[in-house]
Structure 1
Amino acid sequence: MTQKKNEWFDWIKALVVAGLLAFVIRMFVFAPIIVEGPSMLPTLEDEDHMIVNKFSYLLGDPDRFDIVVFHATSEKDYIKRVIGLPGETVEVKDDTLFINGEKVEEKFLEEKKKELANNQVYTFDFTLEDIPGASLTIPDDHILVLGDNRTNSTDSRLLGLISYDQLVGKTSFIYWPLDRIGIIKE
């Protein structure tokens, strides 16, 4: 009888430890997220299921073109691409991205831009000064984010710059639907 009690106790202990481990991993390391809407087309599609690495920015800062998840409001998280980093100036002129006055290629937009008819613009002109609350350069611990679907995205052009405190983490892995499973390439 004592052996059965010990076996049950061992099972309960194992389940509690597994539950705690799952909770810690979910809260502090990885979490699932579902893409809602067309703002990251063509890179991400509506209803793509992804894994967010919450640990990534505890060890380092965001890099240009990372796809990040951040708290846009207290109830809503958004997925966008990092375009501008602290200390930089950002401008889009004639559908071309300029960082600190230098042209920067956005390879992830090339196919979409090729689909446009003559004289159509994919990203309308803007400078940092046009962004709500922005200054001449991006302040420390802030980033500028844009959706890949530049004509239909609520991003820094409307929300303003995103502080590091708002970042949930970095995402680059789609796990559902199965025909889209994989790591996103720049």
Structure 2
Amino acid sequence: MEHKTKKELKSWGKALIIALGIAFVARTFLFAPYTVKGVSMEPTLHDQEKIFVNKFTMNDRYHRGDIIIIKGKEKNYVKRIIGLPGEKIYMENDKLFIDGVLSKEPYLSQNLKLAMEDGSKLTGDFGPITVPQNKYFVMGDNRLKSEDSRNGLGFIRKQSIVGKSEFVFFPLSHFRDVD
């Protein structure tokens, strides 16, 4: 009986070590939780919401509109990709142009409405700017209160991107996909 218990404990111990190893690898290389800090992504993401981040992006392919986590020197940032490598972007009268073509930003509709009610612009005019190869131009959705590629972060290197935000998981009442 005692031999069976030792064997059973050894088996459980091995299973626990394997499970912890798998969890460590998944957390380190594939998925991770992050906490949103600040209001730069409102109303899409709110201060202190917890988001699930996919660290494994096929061929490191990121697309315009993806919400990403950026590894900074002192802190991480949550921003939206606006300009891709090689694109020429500019902003005029709260309209984004990419390679001369108007680009729709439906995620800004609520903030644009508030800015218009105040008689101000949501995003100051800038550009044209050409995004260097292997870099991205990012902005927060709350453009008036965002440190981003326009004012401090500069262009974002692909190597600085931790991953892509997939969904909000906390608080549970806010559980949703992130677009």
Please confirm whether the aligned pair reaches a TM-score higher than 0.5, indicating the same fold. Answer: yes
1:11–1:31 distance in 2 versus 1, CA, 3 Å? same
Unpaired runs of 5+ in structure 2?
none
Q: How many angstroms does 1:184 deviate by?
A: 2.0
CA–CA distance in structure 2, aligned partners of residues 8 and 162 of structure 1: 50
CA–CA distance in structure 1, aligned partners of residues 18 and 118 of structure 2: 61
Letter in structure 1 aligned against 2:8: E
Q: How many angstroms does 1:41 deviate by?
A: 0.6
CA–CA distance in structure 2, aligned partners of residues 128 and 181 of structure 1: 38
Query: Match for residue 134 of structure 1?
Result: none
SS of residue matched to 1:17: helix
Query: Match for residue 46 of structure 1?
Result: 47
1:2–1:119 distance in 2 versus 1, CA, 3 Å? same
Query: Match for residue 4 of structure 1?
Result: 5
SS of residue matched to 2:143: coil
Query: Match for residue 143 of structure 2?
Result: 150
Query: Match for residue 63 of structure 1?
Result: 63
Instruction: Show CA shifts across 1:11-63 (max 9, x none).
Output: 1101100110110000000000000000001110001100010001x434110
CA–CA distance in structure 1, aligned partners of residues 109 and 96 of structure 2: 12
Query: Match for residue 132 of structure 1?
Result: none
Query: Match for residue 164 of structure 1?
Result: 158
SS of residue matched to 1:39: coil
Query: Match for residue 16 of structure 1?
Result: 17
CA–CA distance in structure 1, aligned partners of residues 96 and 161 of structure 2: 23
**Moved beyond 3 Å, runs of 4+:** none
Q: How many angstroms does 1:172 deviate by?
A: 2.5
Query: Match for residue 178 of structure 2?
Result: 184
Letter in structure 2 aligned against 1:63: H
SS of residue matched to 2:5: helix
**Paired-residue identity, %:** 41
Across the aligned residues of Structure 1 and Structure 2, the Cα RMSD in angstroms comes to 1.3
CA–CA distance in structure 2, aligned partners of residues 128 and 48 of structure 1: 34
Letter in structure 1 aligned against 2:132: P
Unpaired runs of 5+ in structure 1?
130-136
SS of residue matched to 1:144: strand
Q: How many angstroms does 1:141 deviate by?
A: 1.1
Q: How many angstroms does 1:118 deviate by?
A: 5.7
TM-score (ref. length: structure 2): 0.94
Q: How does 1:128-147 map to 2 (within 5 A)?
A: 129=129, 137-147=130-140
Pairing 1:99–2:98 present: yes
